[in-house]
Each structure stands twice: as C-alpha cells, then as structure tokens.
Structure 1
Amino acid sequence: MSDTSDSPKVIEEGAVVLLVDSTGRVLLQQRDDDVPPAGYGRWALPGGHLEPGEPPREAALREIEEETGLRLTRLRRFGTFDRPGSAAASVHRVHIYMADDEVDESVIEVNEGLDFKFWGPEATGALPMNAWPREMLERFLASDLYRGTVEAHAAFREGVGILALDRWGRVLLQLRDDDLPPERYPGHWSIPGGHVASGEAPDAAGLREFEEETGHLLESLQLFRVYSGTEIEGLPVHVQHIYFDDPDIPEEMVDAGEGQAFRYFAGDELDDLAVPAFARTILDQFFASPAYRALFH
C-alpha cells in the first residue's frame, strides 16, 4: 500500500552523544568530510546513523565507541528532534543522548574525524559549526538536564525538596526516570526538587524546581527543616532545604515535566514503595512533625 499522507517521511535516523565532563565542557567532533552542508573542519555532535532495527540508545553507544574508543555507561536521553532531509518532503530524525562518565581526555581515540575536544559553553559560540548542530547544542546547554548534571559535579552541592500536600494530607512524590545513574535512584519515588543554582536563594530554587517539574507555580513555601549530609546517610547534596505547602493540586493536573509520573501518597503507604532511604527519613519526620499536624488538626 502506498503512503498517500502529506506528512513528511522519516528517511534516516541517527543518534548522537553529548559527553559532559565534571566542569561542564561538552565533547565535540571536528569533521573531516565535505558532505553538504559544509563539513570539513567544522565541529559537530559525535554520532551517526542507526543500523536497520537498531534501538537508538544502542546506536548512540556503538557510534561513540567506534569514533572515540569510549565505552560509556551513564547515558540519558535528552530528546528526539527532526530536521529537513535531503529528499523532498522528508526528515532526518536524530535521537540525542547525554552522558557524564568520568573520562580521561588523553585516552580518547580519533577513529573518525579530525579531532575530538571538550569545549566549555563560553567557547562554543565562536566555533565553526553548521546551523542545526549549533541549535541542538545551544538547546542542550540551556536545558535542565545539562544544568542539573553540572550542579551535581559541583564541589559544594545545595539542594531543595518540596513537600506538596493535598486536602487529605497526602504528599506528592515523583517517580524518577529509569535511565538515571545508580546514585540518583532510578525508578524510585522521591521528593520533587533539585539543585540550588549559584547565587540563588533556596526558596526561589524550590519554587523554580517545582514549577519546572510539575507545571505549577506555588504561591508560597514554608521551611520545614535544613538537613546536612552528615545527618542523613545517602543525601545526594551537602545541604538540603525541605519546604512544604498544601496547594491541593489535582493529580491529573500535574504535568510531569521531569520524571515519569507524579502521585499522592499517605504516610502509611510509603512502606510499599521504592523510596530512597534519605527521602524516607525526611518524609517520616515530616509526617510526625507539629508542622504537619498543624495543617490537619
């Protein structure tokens, strides 16, 4: 049966990897080809085409190993993007992944292209690049995924967590992505929140993170407690600010901007959940606190 639709056809699929080092620099490849648009000497995103039937994630890992000799393990999906293909009414679909494996730059092989080099965000604007890879790189550098990765490598990490309650006193938890590194609790239910950016007030960070993750801007926050990494084993930051509010947001109105899903849980339901130990400690203390009881006396 012939395709009679007017929608563009995907004629090629590719996968690329943006490898980020501990200082926030991104690994780019200097091209050695003249495939249109202009290629030779320009910097590009490492990657290549999918083989027939090959999953995008496996293609990304294969391509980066073929090009650099690196076997990466900490791969996360950034997004899938379409750009115009070479044929009429066609598109080239590209799956973009990020990795933050610790890599010694001296062991990177140059098996394809002229060179591979880490570049900081402040330097990429001056690099010769074609328009589409530059746009994708700029999107990535402006993303929460990139910012969170850089902040996770900071020498001093400060975090926020938001305990949002409904009218029945249940707390809203986030189901974390399955492709997170082990130390970030993939597939666990945990407290919404994230890192405090440099120069940012913790409460402002809490409001920002909650809106980014759920699509809802809270009107106010109350501080429950500030924890240090020495108080709770497994706390992923040096200092964690925990705030609470009772906005009673309908569960179906929560937009999972980050993570797989959001759901409300009562305190007595936590035992049946996969919850990080540090988050369970915080939740248990909150449900037993005067601050919680005062909301539902």
Structure 2
Amino acid sequence: MGSNLIGIIPAAGMGTRLGQLGNVLPKALLEVEGKSLLDHSLKLLESIGLTRAIIVVGHLESAIREHLSTIDSNLEITFVRQEKPLGLAHAIWCASSQIDADFVVLCPDNLYTEAQDLIDARERFARYEPAFLLLVTTEPSQQRDRRSYKICARKSPAANLFEYEESRPVDGGLELFSTGCVFLQKEALKFLPDFSQATEEHKFRDYLQDISRESVSLIHLLRGMRYDFSSPEDVQDFAQLQKRLSTTFGRGVSAILINEFGEILLQQRDDNPAIRYPGYWSLFGGTVEDSESPFAAVVREVEEEINFRLRNVGLFREFVQNNKREFAFAGEITARIDELTLSEGQGMKFFSPAELFELQIRPDDRETLENYFGVKHD
C-alpha cells in the first residue's frame, strides 16, 4: 500500500479571510519564510517520497499556474479545476479521475515543524492499512471551521495512534484537532457523493464518517507543532514568534497529563524558599538537554519524576518565557496515583478542570492550562 502515493493539494479556495487581498492573491501563495505556502507543501510531499502531485485550482487559477512555472520541483504536477467552492470532499471528487493509487490530501495553509511526523504517518499508513489516516494535533486551530475530535487511549494500537471514532466519547480522553492532512486508500473514492448536480458543500467530516463505518480508520497524533495560516496577520504573528525564538537561551518542557476521567495530574513544589514559587502546584517537566529533542525531553522528564513512560503525547503550545523557549505537551496518563513514584516535590494529585483554577499554580503553567481549556481565570 502507498508505494505510488499521490499528493493532492487543494488550492481552489476563495481566500475570503484575506479580505481585499484575496481578490488578487490565492491563499496558497501567501509567503512564509521566503516561500509560498504552496511551495512549502510541494517540498513536504517530496520529503516523504512522493513523485506525483495533483493541484486542485479554481479561484485565481492563472496566478497559481504562473507561480509554479517559475519554481523547480521534482514532482510530476497535474492540474485539476474545481469550478464551485463546495469543500474538500468536492475537491477530491474533481480530481478522482486522475487518482489511480492511494493518496494523501495536504491543505497548503498548514506548516509542520517536524517533517518526520509526515514520514511516520506514511509509514503507519502502509503498515496498518487503514481506510484513512488523519493527522491531528492537541493545539486548536485558529480557523473556526476546523473539525475537532475526542479520542480515548484504550483504542490506541500504537504510540500516538488511535482508532477514528464517529461520535465523541464522554468518558475522557484528549481533544484533538485536524491539521488538514489525511492519507486515504484509493477505495475511499467510492464513498464520495455524486457532486454532478450539487450546489451545497458536503462536509468533509461526513465523508470520513461514511468511510469509517465500513473500514477501520486511524488518527495519528503529531509529535511536533503545526502552524495554520488564513490571513496576512497569521504570517506576521508567525514571523514575530520566530524572531522571539531566535533570541532565546535554553529550552524547557512541561506536560499536561490527563487521565481517563479528564483529570490533570499536578506536582506540588517543595516549601523551599530558595526555589521559585515554593509550595505552588505545577506541571511536570524540566530542561531540554543539548543533544535531545523536546519530545524526547518530556518523555524523559516524566519518567524521571513519576516513573511513568508516556506513549501518547503531542505538542500543544510553544512560547517564550524569561528568554527560554518552552514546549508544552499534552498526553494521556494511564496509571493510578498509587502506581506512580514521585521523585521531586512534596506531593502530586489529580484535579478536575473545575478544581484546577482554585489552586495556587505557577504562573506560566497556569497560562498553559488556560490555553488548553480555552478559559481565562483571574
């Protein structure tokens, strides 16, 4: 499976979030770090071993064709036109006559910090042979129309890999968000609706649900970060973040550890006046060593501090604090409190989301938790 994988890049959108700029510039041609979003997507497809790509065009098609005539790419590129803006499933339907193998849909308005995430996803797509494999992250998208998914660790066949569920479970688990990338078997085309007379958009999540009712489908949780772009302001925010990161010294990690009941595990710091915030509650974490990645660091720190090996964990937030680059992760913890061994601090306890913000929590960890739950508490 997947040896002749085809890349599908939907680039026909109207770019309504661009305002007046969208009348003259396709969103896929927004420039980030000296290259268009479309260029980044093509390079990413090359990096995971693809040789063919179909670009679905529509709004300002000529601008995209002209741009691609000026760049070098090792991909064999085919263009397909989407006459009506009827959504992602419709874009695939428009390209379906050109799809003769398994394929990966990659929306160009996302950038990934770790190309290895997509390499791993392709390998898992080939190994487990799901009907589709959807890439998700623990960080909510700024685009309100992106679908969120809630999953449970008990349906995890491997680290950071979960079975797709049609309905959201009510008994805990991580809330995950689509990143605009999905690997699909060629046979998934038969689940597409007939758009020949369509006038309304068919929701992409409905298409995925139709597939999952017939075949096992999977969700792959990113270990790195993804940034999504829908406006020039997003590009400016990204540039400012990169500038701040370039002036930082040292790296740190923290972990939002969530059990099956949706409770968060916190550590109570020692009552030692020589340390910062003595007696406060905090997330588990520590310093990233020079030779390791943030992902490796958070796994190591949690194992050192409570003797638990994280399996399912994704990067939730990246920020700068006191000239230090911080990486906040969210992950599932499947052990009970009496199965853990605390090596730092004076105690640890699980708290419900309602209880969390009544506690005295270290300020940067409090901000991370507020970001995770989408709330602000004074």
TM-score band by shorter chain is: 0.3 to 0.5
Question: Please, what TM-score do these two structures have when normalized by structure 2?
Answer: 0.33
Q: From the two aligned structures, give the one with the greater helix fraction.
A: 2
Question: Please, what TM-score do these two structures have when normalized by structure 1?
Answer: 0.42
